[in-house]
Structure 1
Amino acid sequence: MRVVIAEDNVLLSTGLELLLGSKGIDVAAVVPDTPGLMDAVAEHCPDLVIADVRLPPSFRDEGIKAAVSLRRTRLGLPVLVLSQYVEQLYARELLADGSGGVGYLLKDRVSRVGQFIEDIRRVAAGGTVMDPEVIAQLMVGRGNVLDTLTSREREVLSWMAQGLSNTEIGERLTITDNAVHKHIGNIFAKLGLAVTDGGHRRVLAVLAFLDNQ
């Protein structure tokens, strides 16, 4: 796997480069800003981009804007963004194209090395990974269609938003695969996601989860 990292904090970027290298992941480039990110992606054609939400010069939203732009010009490019805080708008915007291969993690998640590497591989493979803290904050004050979900269905949807498969969700909740499948079917039905939506229904459900507040 070839990765490009966009992070202006030298300590964090160096740590990420060393960590990924120790796990057999090739870090093709480490850049401190969005122009460098665009150039590095064009040069190296990475399998995954890891970017800070806030990059120079304004440290507001340059990183996330660059990530969204890259996914528009390079359809399906897996992107994992890191942030110090939960920023709900950015979480929804990343998922807006419905194609998967996206992640939104808080930076303290990096310290959980095993889980972080698993998240990276999941996003690179086309999955969706959301930080549990992001999910927890997005659940507060939730309304509209999500109010029709049972507490168990909301649990299942929360785990889906973190990128877990049916089997992994079943293990977390100590229920069978068939039970998970049934809950997910109910979620799809309540969110109005028809069978014809095919494989994207999972991502669309997560998008609905993030977009109803």
Structure 2
Amino acid sequence: MRVVLAEDSVLFRQGLARLLADVGITVAAETGDAAALPALIAADPPDVLIADVRMPPGHGADGLDAARLVRERHPDVGVLVLSHHIEAHHAIGLLGDDARGVGYLLKDRVSDVAELTDALHRVNAGAAVIDPEVVIRLVGGRNGGRGGALGRLSERERQVLALMAEGRSNQAIGRRLHLSPKTVESHVRGIFERLGLPVAADDHRRVLAVLTYLRS
């Protein structure tokens, strides 16, 4: 896999590049300026772009804006955006109407190399990857916290929902939470019933259904 890194912190960027190289992922190019990113991608499109939300030249959401532009111009390039803070509106803005090949992770996840590489491979394969902490914030904000629809979910169901919105299959959720396949299926059915969402067999459609509900 080939990636492009867009991160203005030189130390963080170099550390991330070293981590990726250690697991066999090639860093094709790096930049610390969001304004340079579209041309860099156009010159040699990678498999995945990894971009910080906040970057020069404006130090606002320049990295996120550049990532959106890359998605528009290069739909085959996966995009994984990193952020120091939970900014749910940025996650929703990045997803737009098509969640395929898009990811939004907190920078704390980068310290878990297995988690990061798994996210990159899933984004590269066309899945949506949303940080579980962001999912919980989105659900809580949309439903008024534990007193709304989220309050009708058990703690286990909220854990399943977070993993489901990350794009995890039932099998992967079962492995993560040490649950049997039948138990996971039961939790998923319960979640969709409580949130008023249609059951969908396709994993990607499940993610889109959850995110559509959260955006409404």
> Superposed, which structure 2 residues align to 1:148-187 within 5 Å?
150-151=153-154, 152-187=156-191
Deviates most, 172-181 or 161-170: 172-181
Deviations 1:50-101 (A, max 9, x none): 0000111221111111111221222243111111111111111222223421
CA distance in 2, matches of 1:37, 1:140: 34
CA distance in 2, matches of 1:159, 1:175: 13
Deviations 1:31-54 (A, max 9, x none): 112232111211111110000001
Shift in CA distance, 62/110, structure 1 to aligned 2, threshold 3 Å: same
CA distance in 2, matches of 1:185, 1:137: 22
Q: Does 1:204 align with 2:208?
A: yes
Shift in CA distance, 112/199, structure 1 to aligned 2, threshold 3 Å: closer
> Superposed, which structure 2 residues align to 1:40-189 within 5 Å?
40-143=40-143, 146-147=149-150, 150-151=153-154, 152-188=156-192
SS in 2 for 1:126: coil
Gaps of 5+ in 2: none
CA distance in 2, matches of 1:78, 1:90: 17
SS in 2 for 1:140: helix
**Aligned residues of 1:7 and 1:31 also touching (Cα < 8 A):** yes
CA distance in 2, matches of 1:8, 1:121: 24
Shift in CA distance, 170/194, structure 1 to aligned 2, threshold 3 Å: closer
CA distance in 1, matches of 2:151, 2:208: 17
Q: Does 1:28 align with 2:28?
A: yes
CA distance in 2, matches of 1:91, 1:34: 18
Deviations 1:163-206 (A, max 9, x none): 322112112333322332343345445444475x9564222133
Letter in 2 for 1:108: D
Shift in CA distance, 112/147, structure 1 to aligned 2, threshold 3 Å: closer
SS in 1 for 2:105: strand
Paired-residue identity, %: 45
CA distance in 1, matches of 2:202, 2:122: 20
Cα distance, 1:123 vs structure 2: 1.6
**Aligned residues of 1:76 and 1:100 also touching (Cα < 8 A):** no
Aligned residues: 211
RMSD, aligned α-carbons: 2.5
CA distance in 2, matches of 1:211, 1:19: 34
Letter in 1 for 2:3: V
CA distance in 2, matches of 1:39, 1:130: 27
Deviations 1:91-142 (A, max 9, x none): 1122222342111111122112222222222222222222233233334344
